[in-house]
Amino acid sequence: MSDNKSNTPRGNKPIKIRFNISWIYFILLIAIGWMFFNQGGANPQKEEWADVQKQWLAGDIKEVVFIRNEYEGRVTMRPERLEKYADKFAGKVPEKSPHFVFLVSGSFNAEEMFGELNAQLPEDRQVKVVIENHESWWSVLEWLIFPLLLILMWVFMFRGMNRNMGGGGPGGPGGIFNVGKSTGKLAEKGDTQVTFKDVAGLYGAKDEVMEIVDFLKNPKKYTALGGKIPKGALLVGPPGTGKTLLAKAVAGEANVPFFSISGSDFVEMFVGVGASRVRDLFRQAKEKAPCIVFIDEIDAVGRARSKNGGFSSNDERENTLNQLLTEMDGFGTNSGVIILAATNRADILDKALMRAGRFDRQIYVELPDLIGRKEIFEVHMRKLKLADDVDKEFLAKQTPGFSGADIANVCNEAALIAARRNKESIEKQDFLDAIDRIVGGLEKKNKVITDSEKKVIAFHEAGHATTSWLLEFAHPLVKVTIVPRGKALGAAWYLPNERQITTKEQMYHEMIATLGGRAAEQLIFGHISTGALSDLEKVTKQATAMIAYYGLDERIGNRSYYDSTGQQDYALTKPFSEKTAEIIDEQVSKLIESAYQEALRILGENIDGLTQLANKLIDKEVVFGDDLEMIFGKRPWVKEEIDFPKESQQTTDNGQQSESTEENLV
């Protein structure tokens, strides 16, 4: 016995062949195919009896089988004579017999007729004749077996679908073709190579998920004191901040199996598939415990259920959600299975899903700050060949508001740019060009722009630059260009201040700087253009947020009509009266008009500097912060030790604008 054990490789298990209902479908399909393709052997051609007689006398026929009770004759030709009749088979001579069939009347005397024909042939050319009767029951069976097979297959299909997709119990086979089985990807213990070393910049979130790792490694440490291990944690944050990466790092650090599935994978066109997949996923998780189940984009299946069942509801999605709620509640406290989920729409999730006992913790994964961005750059630069002039701190200052995914894209784009320029290493300028490419789009220097349009664009961008430079709370300008990028005809780069809170004066100054482009067009040319579409869109949203959301208007007062739950978007009525709506519209118009008049005043007082800056833009196409300092002098509100970067946040004009790097205003 010991010898046998020693010779058996460790971990090898005997192969068990289990019966699966899919085998029945496979067998039925083969049977139907055989019946379809093998009825009657070959596909014989019909012939008249007169033509068969000519073939008989020509010595071309080898055998004739005559079925007396069906008045049918089946003719097999001599192989060497088949080519003679190739035209009757559309050029393709059949390999199987019979080759021809003929029908006769009831008065046909087969023995006499066939005997007379054979008597006219030499002995070696005579035809073999077989006369027989077909049993009637076999003919009936032959006609019934095909529909019977179809009925059987239909019954088995619907039984499987009903059992395993509609009302099946847990752990079922998964329905026809296993459509009810979970599509989650399983990473076995040790397969996940991601650790906390690969996660940078997420300080608070990393600390919280590290506790989950400790729960999985040392559960007795907490249960000994009577505590319960959390069942689940919900990762909430903007796209690209590293929620999925955090979940993988937890699995890698804990060294446990890791199930990953998307919320949309539960939703299918068949009724009951979502619920069946939820059951199957949790069944597998219990078998692999301790383990982690990660559901990405859980808002696809966990959206809040409608109170009105007949309006904007999806029974299949709600059934899937109900099954998910049941399964998450069904876990014991010491099951060793922890549920992690990620979403960027936590406001629309069902309250039953968010309660303690299902998701005990909500971990907020925010955009990285300055130090976090530096660490993320260090992570993504490990495999890059960098030049000596690459400064991670400088690049971190250039990318306020960038997520981890954005920074990864910057590093990759910089490598592509350096390779395109045939460099042996990635230089600082390659990173700056990559930031420009990502934020503003590709330069289109060959785009045809008339001189008059170029002049309007130059003064528009100069208006933005002038007002932002002369206002205290506006973002300091870094670079202005009139080279078309993407869909934009011109662009201005700013270095936004990373604020945690924003005052009314700061928002007002930003509105003035945004309207500086249109104000410059009005002041210089006496008319305005469509190039300020993005500017108008931004200031309208900003003014509406100031009045209706942040309570920064005297007439509206300290009231906010912002709905943090996200349900206001689906409401048929507004949370304020028509009179209040008129006041909000009136105050928004006043605020925007006040900012516009202030922009006109500032540009009118500094029209010489505005003209000088615009002419320099027309001449050089690109103007930096140093050029503005030479024209307007140093900004009195900026500390002297601050070094102005060359590239950063961008706003564009002609209907397109990059996202704000400040807090979301709407």
Averaged pLDDT, 245-267: 81
pLDDT surpasses 80 at 324: yes
Tell me the pLDDT band of 5, cut-offs 50, 70 and 90.
Answer: very low
Q: Give pLDDT tens digits for 155-175.
A: 666 555 555 444 444 444 444
Res 568: pLDDT: 59
Better-scored residue on pLDDT, 508 or 310: 508
Q: What is the rounded average pLDDT for all residues in the chain?
A: 77
Q: Which pLDDT band holds residue 37 (cuts at 50, 70, 90)?
A: low
Would you give the distance in Å from CA 177 to the centre of its chain?
25
Tens-digit pLDDT profile for residues 558-612: 988 887 766 555 556 678 888 999 999 999 999 999 999 999 999 999 999 999 9
**Average pLDDT value for residue range 25-50:** 66
Coil, helix or strand at residue 621: coil
* pLDDT for the residue numbered 564: 72
658: pLDDT strictly greater than 70:
no
pLDDT of residue 184: 57
Lowest-confidence segment of 143-147, 249-253, 331-335 by average pLDDT = 331-335
- What's the pLDDT band for 620 if we cut at 50, 70, 90? confident
Query: Could you please report the per-residue DSSP string of 443-481?
Result: B-TT----HHHHHHHHHHHHHHHHHHHHSSSSPPEEEEE
Asked if residue 641 has pLDDT above 60, the reply is no
1 has pLDDT over 60: no
Handedness of CA 58, 64, 68, 71 (dihedral sign): negative
Alpha helix ranges (H) inside 255-355: 273-288, 299-302, 315-330, 351-354
**In this structure, how many other beta carbons lie within 10 angstroms of the beta carbon of residue 599?**
27
Q: Do 243 and 365 form a contact (C-beta atoms < 8 A)? A: yes
pLDDT of residue 660: 33
Which candidate in 268, 461, 598, 647 is catalytic?
A: 461
Q: Could you confirm whether 461 is annotated as catalytic?
A: yes
- Structure-model confidence comparison of residues 88 and 25, the more confident one: 88
User: Which pLDDT value is given to residue 522?
Assistant: 92
The pLDDT of 46-60, averaged and rounded, is 87
Give the range among 88-92, 361-365, 407-411 with minimum mean pLDDT.
Answer: 88-92
State residue 280's pLDDT score: 83
Residues in Cβ contact with 65 at an 8 Å cutoff, skipping those fewer than 6 apart? 73, 74, 76, 98, 130, 132
> How many angstroms separate the first and last alpha carbons of the chain?
74
What is the predicted pLDDT for the residue at 448? 65
pLDDT the model gives residue 541: 94
In this predicted structure, what is the pLDDT of residue 422? 92
* Per-residue pLDDT tens over the stretch 531-546: 888 899 999 999 999 9
Q: What is the pLDDT of residues 221-254, one digit of tens each?
A: 887 888 777 788 899 988 888 888 888 888 788 7
pLDDT tens for 396-445 read 888 888 888 899 999 999 999 999 999 999 998 899 888 888 887 776 76
pLDDT recorded at residue 125: 85
- The CB density around residue 569, as the number of other CB atoms within 10 Å, is 9
